[in-house]
Amino acid sequence: MKKITIKDVAREAGVSVATVSYIINNREDQKISPETRNKVLQIINLLDYTPNQAAKSLVTQKSQIVALHYKEAESYLQKAEQLHFINKLTNFLHNKNYYLMCLSEHYIEKIDLADVILTLDVAKEDFYKIGNANFSPLIALDSFIDDPVFFQINSDFQKLKKQAIQYFGETTFTFVSLPINDEKRKELIQNTFSSIKYVKSVEELDNFDYKNVLIIDSILEQLISNYYNKLYISGFSDEKFEKIFQAIEWASQRIEINNHNIVV
């Protein structure tokens, strides 16, 4: 007879592996409805599933390791921006007594060493694939998962818009960005800014003819000539890194927080 696994329970209940894990370990800091909790417990009894003790113990262990999962960039500009972020995050976490472990998009399973898994600009379906394969808490960076079980940390685009209008003294400006993977984030940008330009390569900057430009990517700030009237506001400010650290602490220590949606 096939051994019942936590994935079997999650599939039958129609929830993520992470949700089943939270219920098994009686996590009260997660917003899980009584109906979902009862359904999962019923399926556990029905399937006669016995949680692995090693898996249950993961919630009490601390390794001081943070894993970062990101999609492999398609362009050199995106690769450069990812490297800039990784270097900045590594230094930041080191000062907080954490270590960073980087994971490619091809490695999503059994990241048991990490206290927390960060995902950077991943699509919602990919985020849940990672959640279904691991017990460690997940935090989404630059992605809108919109699931109260998970923290998500994003830029406040309305705030950026107001800062740009104040800086340029007018409402006519272009938001310039590297390509974005998360569809919800792209939709929010589309609804916030009237003029948007996504840049995939250096060649696209040769015929760059925008007067006022708002930039959040470090590599674009360096490449776009000072000839243009530009405003650079880092997509990963010191304030945003502090919010990331807060979320890491809350998630790894299972501290109950009402608002998992953080905008900076």
Tens digit of each residue's pLDDT (9 = 90 or more) over 172-230? 999 999 999 999 999 999 999 999 999 999 998 887 778 899 999 999 999 987 767 99
Please report the pLDDT score of residue 243 as a whole number.
98
pLDDT at 60 over 60: no
- Band of the pLDDT at 61, cuts 50, 70, 90? low
CA distance 46 to 139: 32
| Nearest alpha carbon to residue 79 among 244, 186, 237, 219 | 219
Residue 219 burial (C-beta neighbours within 10 Å; 0-12, 13-18, 19+)? buried
CA distance 226 to 104: 35
pLDDT at 57 over 50: no
Quick one: which H or E segment has residue 127? helix 124-133
Of the candidate ranges 22-36, 62-76, 141-155, 220-234, the one whose mean pLDDT is the lowest: 22-36
Determine the 3-state secondary structure of 154 from DSSP.
Answer: strand
CA distance 181 to 228: 27
Q: Which of 68-77, 186-195, 226-235 has the highest mean pLDDT?
A: 186-195
pLDDT at 86 over 90: yes
Residue 45 burial (C-beta neighbours within 10 Å; 0-12, 13-18, 19+)? exposed
Q: Are 178 and 220 in contact (CB under 8 A)?
A: yes
| Amino acid letter, residue 231 | L
CA distance 95 to 209: 41
CA distance 12 to 39: 10
Please report the pLDDT score of residue 42 as a whole number.
74
Half-sphere exposure of 156 (CA within 13 A, CB side): 13
CA distance 182 to 177: 13
Q: How many CB atoms lie within 10 A of CB 122?
A: 22
CA distance 122 to 240: 18
Q: What percent of the chain has pLDDT over 90?
A: 54
**What's the distance, Cα to Cα, between the start and end of the chain in Å?**
51
CA distance 64 to 115: 6
Please report the pLDDT score of residue 52 as a whole number.
59
